[in-house]
Amino acid sequence: MLDFFLYNEISPKEKIGPTAKTIEKLINKRINAVIAIIKEIEKTQTKPTIGILQALLEQEEPKKKPLLVEKKRPSGDRPNYRKFNR
């Protein structure tokens, strides 16, 4: 067993590398940085764009024109076409 440490030139008293806690801290820092970047993008780009698109898509309903309805005449009241003929 001692030959392993001597052959690889390491000491059993030294720390070999980062522990799980230090790796977790590093990953959490990276995740927090990514979250901050995404929040900044939402504030500066996404929300204003959504507001602009909503303003463009909101349109007033066109005013409805009244329908032209033919007036019904009483059965005895017929139009006099002789006035229009020459």
* Residue linked to tokens 């690889």: 8
In-domain check, residue 19 = yes
Total structural domains in the chain? 1
pLDDT tens profile 40-49:
998 888 888 8
pLDDT of residue 63: 76
In-domain check, residue 73 = no
pLDDT tens profile 65-85:
877 777 776 666 666 666 555
In-domain check, residue 18 = yes
In-domain check, residue 79 = no
* Residue linked to tokens 């006035």: 83
In-domain check, residue 86 = no
Find the DSSP H helices in 2-46. 2-8, 20-41
The model carries a pTM of 0.44
In-domain check, residue 75 = no
pLDDT tens profile 4-20:
888 877 777 777 777 78
Q: Which domain holds residue 18?
A: 13-52
